[in-house]
Structure 1
Amino acid sequence: MTARLLVLLAGGGVAAWLIVLNFGALGAVAWRAEGLTALRGADWAAVRFTLIQALWSAALSVLLAIPIARALARRRFIGRGALIMLMGAPFILPTLVAVLGLLAVFGRAGLVNQGLEGLGFGRLNIFGLQGVVLAHVFYNLPLATRILLQGWATIPAERFRLGATLGFGPRENFRQLEWPMLRELVPGAFLVIFLICLTSFSVALTMGGGPRATTVELAIYQAFRFDFDMGRAAMLALVQFGLCACAGLLAWRVSLPSGLGSGMDRPVQRFDTGTLSLRLWDGALIVAGALFLLVPLALVALRGLPHVAGLPPEVWQAAGRSLLVALGATGVTLAMTLALAHAVIAVGPGRGAMLEWLGLAALAASPLVIGTGLYLLIRPFGNPRDFALVVTMLVNAGMALPFALRLILPGLREVVVSQGRLADSLGLHGWVRLRIVTLPRLRRSLGFAAGLTAALSMGDLGVIMLFAEREGATLPMQLYRLMTAYRLDDAAGTALVLLGSSLALFWLFDAWGRRFADA
């Protein structure tokens, strides 16, 4: 059997699994319901709220990220790399930990409300639309900042030199150099964040504050868990998928190439940032962004540290289950991503684009519908609750695959272009080629993708809420139960354990990738 055939078989197997995961699960739910059910007024209200909060969340995240990323791109200072890394922490943060951090700052007894009350003003209400948007901005602002910061790094240094010779100031540089880059990247960044917010579950569950602040994903959960209406849940999932598809098409039509071309990879030197007012402005933006993102994390750590030692045994048992789920999801994600990425390149541009789209389709799917579909498919062969952790692991792997594919596929294409002919001439194929040629050049991307998958899986609160019994809870589920039972001290300690576990997994995998990549 040739290496190409093996690649096609492996990629085809992953594609078939993704079809089952993203579409077969939805079909199983609709079949179990014996058709789709018409949506009610409350469901259309959830659709409207979902669109409103996703639009506000994505727009604010991107608009706030532009000046912060620009300030970071223009300045060099001691600790800049560490600050950028720390500012990216909220995106890999478990949602419930982020919620607890925001409550510590903006909640009824938080720092902001205490300050307002001391000045004689009324308290802010963090729940409802404003709370959901605030949590999503906190969660996605780092992602938007990192995307746009990479965009600034792609502007050739020669363009800034040319601008300096033409007497360009900050305004002219923005209009002629930075705006074309933003026009190319902002629609994609907006789309990714919009899709994340559109399929939000945990944020709406904890910050929504009532029926008026219900997202489509939360409505799907309610239809499953409380109304037992599979047909309505399937219909809501179709509506959600349609909204995501429309958003993707619109972003693709709006995005335009920057036309800046390529340079000689020289370090970027800016000639328009020397004035005191600009230095103060950039410094203020960087400090404000860092405070907004890091203060909630610091408060979670300070409030949880005294209570970690006294946590009940079930918390540590839940932590062990979450670790197993996270490691399993990471292994499955990397294996599927490598197989699918090789198949995308092997079949060529046309069919490869279809496979790539299939890999990215999970961004538009409902994790709860996927989990329920798998539940129904397993049911004829055994008690689905016995497979709750396995189903959670598989769904988490499928949800992380789009991010891993976008990280690994460009690097694999570069390996094929730069090393493919030499490897063919040396007769390197199959596992030998993968081990000697491909993996060493992908270790940085693999490490980052593994860390991202493990951290996101460690903090996921979604599918497990549908099926797990009390004795089978994961750490996020255990934290949610402690919060709803008003065991705040135990919740604070559990949040710190969850925060530390997620960050440790990300750091270990990412450091592994960087260390071996630099070896």
Structure 2
Amino acid sequence: MAKRLVPIKPVYGLGAVSAALILLLTLGTLAAVVTRAEGVSALRPADWAALRFTLWQAFLSASLSVLLAVPVARALARRQFFGRSALVTLLGAPFILPVIVAVLGLLAVFGRSGILSTMLGWVGLPPVHIYGLHGVVLAHVFFNIPLATRLILQGWLAIPAERFRLAASLGFDNADIQRVLEWPMLRAVVPGIFMVIFLLCMTSFAVVLALGGGPKATTLELAIYQAFRFDFDLGKAALLAVIQFGLCAVVAVIAWRVATPAGMGAGLDRTVERWDTSNPVLRAQDFTVLVFAKLFLLTPLVVIFLKGAGAVWTLPDVVWWSAFRSVLVALGSAALAISLALSLALLAVKLGQKRTAGFVEGFGYLTIAASPLVVGTGLFIMIFPFARPSDLALPVTAIVNAAMSLPFALRALSPALRDIENDFGRLADSLGLSGWSRMRLLILPRMRRPLGFAAGLAAALSMGDLGVIALFADPESATLPLQMFRLMTAYRMGDAAGAALVLLALSLCLFWVFDRGGRVDADT
């Protein structure tokens, strides 16, 4: 990358404003909560129990997700079959799936009245109990197996084809290939993937709220919610938020330090051919793994569709108004997330120096460690002298959702923007393209694909979020996930299934519209 300063002065201003806004949303809101608190009390036994449960369930969830993803990724890496591309694409669906929808699907399959309990009853066995630690871990594994599989699969596909050709010429069997090629790759990529999933599970809220099952299954995020919602103990909430922020920061640093290159070297980008997979036992093993993976991931979605299809047409008007509000929040959140991510990415690229650029991009990743509940509460404390919190519940929810999706949008935009500057930056300089002309003629046309993907991802994640809105929304400003949660707690499972189908359809539709819009006629 050319280490030069390109004179796009508005970029620096927008980037600086975005960085300041991120600091306000993370550290500033935490400071607001601490300042408003009357005092910070010591941690009680229940708080220590929440801390232990948070770390334990995150460890179990990340471990099982990675362990189960390895054979799935191996099967996809060494098998070519009809529908393979569709299956790989489908593996990304649970990541944008609304959490509350997935929880309802898991309850329909693994709950006390679910499919599994019914089948166990046929043979005289008692029903399963999904609430508690095992329910939380099950839901986290459901969400994170696809993510771990996609990331590990990228590591497998990064092994040059020439290494497998050399292994075949040397007569390597399956055990030799695992020892010489696959194990070094896994040793390089798995620790970082484990840490990322561990971090996501630590800050999970909706899963634990729906499946936690009482004081023995409470995480730090849920304890923060309880401190705000029921006790209004800002001191306790602030202390727990500081602890969570510190833990997440430590995990993030560890994830960065454990990321090591696999040392496979470069290849000629040939299609990977595997000569070690003709064994019928291996073929049966891969087939079985893929079948069980598809059943585990698709059955809850199919059940939701079957149960919700008949209830959609009888949903009360309040559900449809909640859906309308959710779409508005999602669109606003996507617009804000793209604005913040693009301005930060532009500033990082224009600074040029690797260390400085990394520092600027680091601002965008601060929100991973922040608690959305603390961010929302801090914003309400700041605006309380001017307006009622319930009146601004939807705008604040959109802002917090944008901040939470910012790391993913930034990850999608930054590499593409660096490639544009590397390929066309000097030519643009020689033509005198700068400022908004450079943005309009060079950058935006070539950023349509990542911009569309990032906007769709931000909109889908915001559409299914159940976080800040659960704290401050009144019945007149509930979003669809909150309305669906209220239907579930009222045991109106038919209406909840219908609302889940509507929420799932809207989330996928928003993602498709933005992602497709970024790819239509995008020839540059």
Q: TM-score, normalised by structure 2?
A: 0.96
**Counterpart in the other structure of 1:408:** 413
**Counterpart in the other structure of 1:170:** 174
Which moved further from structure 2: 140-149 or 315-324?
Answer: 140-149
Whether the aligned pair in 1 keeps the contact of 2:304 and 2:497 (CA below 8 Å) is yes
Which moved further from structure 2: 79-88 or 198-207?
Answer: 79-88
| Residue-by-residue CA offset, 1:50-80 (whole Å, 9 max, x unaligned) | 1000111111111111110111111111111
- Residue 173 of structure 1, CA deviation: 2.1
Identity %: 59
Matched, 1:306 2:310: yes
Which moved further from structure 2: 231-240 or 154-163?
Answer: 154-163
Whether the aligned pair in 1 keeps the contact of 2:133 and 2:217 (CA below 8 Å) is yes
| Residue-by-residue CA offset, 1:332-387 (whole Å, 9 max, x unaligned) | 11111111011112222122221222211111110000000000111122222211
Superposition map of 1:55-454 within 5 A = 55-347=59-351, 348-454=353-459
**Counterpart in the other structure of 2:37:** 33
Distance change (3 Å), C-alpha of 1:412 and 1:180: farther
Q: Distance in 2 between matches of 1:157 and 1:446?
A: 32
Q: Distance in 1 between matches of 2:109 and 2:252?
A: 34
- Residue 251 of structure 1, CA deviation: 2.2
State the SS of the aligned residue for 1:470: coil
Matched, 1:460 2:492: no
- Residue 518 of structure 1, CA deviation: 4.7
Q: Distance in 2 between matches of 1:149 and 1:449?
A: 21
How many residues are treated as equivalent by the alignment? 519
Q: Distance in 2 between matches of 1:278 and 1:12?
A: 54
Q: Distance in 2 between matches of 1:256 and 1:422?
A: 35
Q: Distance in 2 between matches of 1:515 and 1:281?
A: 40
Q: Distance in 1 between matches of 2:358 and 2:18?
A: 15
**Counterpart in the other structure of 2:490:** 485
Whether the aligned pair in 2 keeps the contact of 1:49 and 1:215 (CA below 8 Å) is yes
CA RMSD of aligned residues (A): 1.5
Q: Distance in 1 between matches of 2:32 and 2:151?
A: 37
Q: Distance in 1 between matches of 2:202 and 2:358?
A: 24
Which AA in structure 1 matches 2:516? A
Q: Distance in 1 between matches of 2:437 and 2:154?
A: 34
- Residue 468 of structure 1, CA deviation: 0.9
Whether the aligned pair in 2 keeps the contact of 1:318 and 1:478 (CA below 8 Å) is yes
- Residue 2 of structure 1, CA deviation: 7.8
- Residue 168 of structure 1, CA deviation: 2.1
Q: Distance in 1 between matches of 2:173 and 2:289?
A: 20
Which moved further from structure 2: 432-441 or 336-345?
Answer: 432-441
- Residue 417 of structure 1, CA deviation: 1.2
Matched, 1:502 2:507: yes
Which AA in structure 1 matches 2:391? D
Whether the aligned pair in 2 keeps the contact of 1:107 and 1:113 (CA below 8 Å) is yes
Which AA in structure 2 matches 1:5? K
Distance change (3 Å), C-alpha of 1:441 and 1:188: farther
- Residue 250 of structure 1, CA deviation: 2.1
Which AA in structure 2 matches 1:463? V
**Counterpart in the other structure of 1:511:** 516
Distance change (3 Å), C-alpha of 1:414 and 1:398: same
Q: Distance in 1 between matches of 2:179 and 2:432?
A: 51
- Residue 174 of structure 1, CA deviation: 2.2
| Residue-by-residue CA offset, 1:233-280 (whole Å, 9 max, x unaligned) | 000001101111111222233222111122222222222112221111
Q: Distance in 2 between matches of 1:281 and 1:444?
A: 37
State the SS of the aligned residue for 1:220: helix
State the SS of the aligned residue for 1:19: helix
Q: Distance in 2 between matches of 1:267 and 1:442?
A: 28
Whether the aligned pair in 2 keeps the contact of 1:444 and 1:517 (CA below 8 Å) is yes
| Residue-by-residue CA offset, 1:297-327 (whole Å, 9 max, x unaligned) | 0000000000100000010000000000101
Which moved further from structure 2: 16-25 or 271-280?
Answer: 271-280
Q: Distance in 1 between matches of 2:256 and 2:232?
A: 37
- Residue 221 of structure 1, CA deviation: 0.5
Which moved further from structure 2: 448-457 or 10-19?
Answer: 448-457
| Residue-by-residue CA offset, 1:207-247 (whole Å, 9 max, x unaligned) | 01111000100100000011010010000001101111111
Q: Which runs of 5+ in 1 are unaligned?
A: none
Q: Distance in 2 between matches of 1:8 and 1:202?
A: 37
Q: Distance in 2 between matches of 1:450 and 1:2?
A: 27
Whether the aligned pair in 1 keeps the contact of 2:131 and 2:211 (CA below 8 Å) is yes
Q: Distance in 2 between matches of 1:73 and 1:517?
A: 29
| Residue-by-residue CA offset, 1:140-189 (whole Å, 9 max, x unaligned) | 11111111112222222222222222222222222222222222221221
Which moved further from structure 2: 306-315 or 150-159?
Answer: 150-159
